[in-house]
Chain A
Amino acid sequence: MKEFFAILKNELIKTIRRPRSYIGFAVISFICLMLQGAFYQDGRELLTTVTAQFDNIFNVQGNILNGNLICFIVLQTLIVQMPLLVAFVTGDQISGETASGSIRFLLTTPASRTKIVVAKWLSGLVYTLLLLLVLGIFALFVSRAIFGVGDLMAMNSEGLTIIRADDINWRWGYAFLIAFLSLSVVASLSTMLSCIMDNSITPIVTVMATIIIFTIIGMFDMKSFDVIKPFLFTTHMISWRSLFEDPLPVHDILTSCAILFLHVVIFLGVAIFYFKRKDITN
């Protein structure tokens, strides 16, 4: 176990020292601040596109443009982009070292190959968690500081759901947990591909391409796509949104979480299985 923690510590230090690790934090904070600035300036105008359809019948009272709505919008915008940022760092953790040859030195340590893969995978998860923490701070707390706290007018294709401000914090907590589980799938996929491939760029690009293709499939309402949609992890990655529905679709959320967790187990299992048998020829 000692070797395992030594490798994990080493991997975390490597992640901290790599300049590319900070791109994710910079991108998230920039997007959050940019969207907050834009909403501060033009948010009410943008909301009229939603309220216009019932404007002649209802007066909507209360502060719609609040920190919770901004966080909801930021999260649904970034949840598509964040996997790319995760893959950018976790995609070459093993393949990058295989390409450079430094993996040979790592394999000379007493730690087993399984421990090496798990340590690298865990360091990827720590990075993912930190990304989400930064997102949470900027999207939720900074938005609340700028726009105030209020009821969330959650928009979905079924209509509007008003979530009361005193009933929202636990929803955000679980939403970020599900977001973490979703991004863990991406980190696990990256680790798996990183074990299989021998150069640093290909796993990153492959993960990005997979997410883009799966997202596009999810966007279209076509019968041929409907068959495969339930099997795509991207379908379940946005299950955090279900936490803002009323009544709460608990069964759907748990099913999505189970499917995401299964993906993590399978990807990590394949990564360990493949890496244990991998012939390092570089």
Chain B
Amino acid sequence: MKKILVLVMSLFSVQAFAIDDPNALIRELNKRFSQVNDYTAHVRMTFDIPGVKMNTMNGKVFFKRPDRFRIRTKGIFFLPKQNPLQNMSAMLLDTSSYTSVMSGYEVVKGKKCAIVNIIPLKNVNDLILGKFWIDIKNPLVLKTQITTKNNGTIETENVYVANSTFTLPDQIIIKLETKKIKISKMLAADLNKKSKDTSKDNKLETGTIVLSFSDYKINTKFADSELEKTEE
């Protein structure tokens, strides 16, 4: 009985430490992700960008540590300049480049998350602040908010199903603020269309890109040349 009590108390103390210490959560995350040297997966991309009409498209994702990332597909598609897939892991892995601060707790999709702020120590990668909502029971990044100097703020929501042990999401919903893309009437040679009130178009609108992953192949090793090609 005494042994069980000690075990329960020690487990509780570990959990409490993890909750209070952002570095412990990040360490756990990095431990999981460090199992992944490379992966490939099928990706289905859905776009809802103000001023851009684009159908859903399929492609293949290639990733190699630490941050080499490519999506190969046929055709034109838009990805955020600050690619969250590329940046999130690379950003957290280099623990010497930032300081982490816990700023509270929030429930995301029914899971209690610690909000960990990442403040860069060096002025690299344009990053001002990275905010990560990390599940405290099962350390996974459920939500991020990356603020950069030049590219604004990008939010992501991550859904984990099959590969949570490797911290690989099955779906990422990327939200970013952008002005509606507009083409001048003369450049578009759209002579008969009526010009709209452009004052409203200058307002920032939220664009959404949903990346749904399937058929992950982890640590199977692939040629570097796959990362060089951007389209088929």
Q: Do A and B come from one complex?
A: yes
Q: Is B104 engaged at the interface, CB distance under 8 Å to the other chain?
A: no
Contact stretch, chosen from A60-68, A101-109, A171-179: A60-68
Are A164 and B195 neighbours in the complex by a CB distance under 8 Å? Answer: no
CA distance A150 to B76 in the complex (A): 8
Are A156 and B76 neighbours in the complex by a CB distance under 8 Å? Answer: no
Chain A positions 136 through 177: 1 when the CB is less than 8 Å from some CB of chain B, otherwise 0: 000000000000001101011111111011010000000000
CA distance A56 to B148 in the complex (A): 11
Q: Is B181 engaged at the interface, CB distance under 8 Å to the other chain?
A: yes
Instruction: Among B49, B52, B78, point to the contact of A61 (Cβ < 8 A).
Output: B78
CA distance A61 to B209 in the complex (A): 14
Q: Is B79 engaged at the interface, CB distance under 8 Å to the other chain?
A: yes
Are B55 and A164 neighbours in the complex by a CB distance under 8 Å? Answer: yes
Once A58-B80, A60-B76, A246-B53 are accepted as A-B contacts, the answer to whether A49 and B187 lie under 8 Å apart by CB is yes
Are B183 and A77 neighbours in the complex by a CB distance under 8 Å? Answer: no
Are B189 and A50 neighbours in the complex by a CB distance under 8 Å? Answer: no
Distance of A2 from chain B, by nearest CB (Å):
44
CA distance A221 to B185 in the complex (A): 11
Once A57-B81, A59-B80 are accepted as A-B contacts, the answer to whether A157 and B71 lie under 8 Å apart by CB is no
CA distance A153 to B188 in the complex (A): 11
CA distance A174 to B57 in the complex (A): 25
Q: Is B231 engaged at the interface, CB distance under 8 Å to the other chain?
A: yes
Are A62 and B231 neighbours in the complex by a CB distance under 8 Å? Answer: yes
Once A54-B178, A77-B189 are accepted as A-B contacts, the answer to whether A160 and B52 lie under 8 Å apart by CB is yes
Instruction: Among B78, B180, B195, point to the contact of A159 (Cβ < 8 A).
Output: B180
Are B57 and A157 neighbours in the complex by a CB distance under 8 Å? Answer: no
Once A57-B151, A150-B75 are accepted as A-B contacts, the answer to whether A159 and B182 lie under 8 Å apart by CB is yes
Instruction: Among B71, B81, B187, B193, point to the contact of A58 (Cβ < 8 A).
Output: B81
Are B81 and A159 neighbours in the complex by a CB distance under 8 Å? Answer: no
Are A238 and B192 neighbours in the complex by a CB distance under 8 Å? Answer: yes
Chain B interface residue count, CB cutoff 8 Å, equals 43
Q: Is A250 engaged at the interface, CB distance under 8 Å to the other chain?
A: no
Chain A residues closer than 8 Å to B192, beta-carbon distance: 218, 229, 235, 238
Distance of B109 from chain A, by nearest CB (Å):
26
Chain B residues closer than 8 Å to A61, beta-carbon distance: 71, 73, 76-79, 230-231
Chain A residues closer than 8 Å to B55, beta-carbon distance: 162, 164, 167, 246
Instruction: Among A50, A59, A155, A238, point to the contact of B79 (Cβ < 8 A).
Output: A59
Q: Is A282 engaged at the interface, CB distance under 8 Å to the other chain?
A: no
CA distance A229 to B193 in the complex (A): 11
Chain B residues closer than 8 Å to A229, beta-carbon distance: 192
Are B195 and A157 neighbours in the complex by a CB distance under 8 Å? Answer: yes
Are A53 and B181 neighbours in the complex by a CB distance under 8 Å? Answer: yes
Residue of A nearest to B47 (CB): A162
Chain B residues closer than 8 Å to A158, beta-carbon distance: 51, 182, 193
Chain B residues closer than 8 Å to A263, beta-carbon distance: none
Are A157 and B183 neighbours in the complex by a CB distance under 8 Å? Answer: yes
Give 5 pairs: A residue, B residue, CB < 8 Å, sorted on A: A57-B151, A60-B76, A60-B77, A157-B182, A159-B183
Interface residues of B, Cβ cutoff 8 Å to A? 49-55, 57, 71, 73-81, 83, 150-152, 176, 178-185, 187-196, 230-231
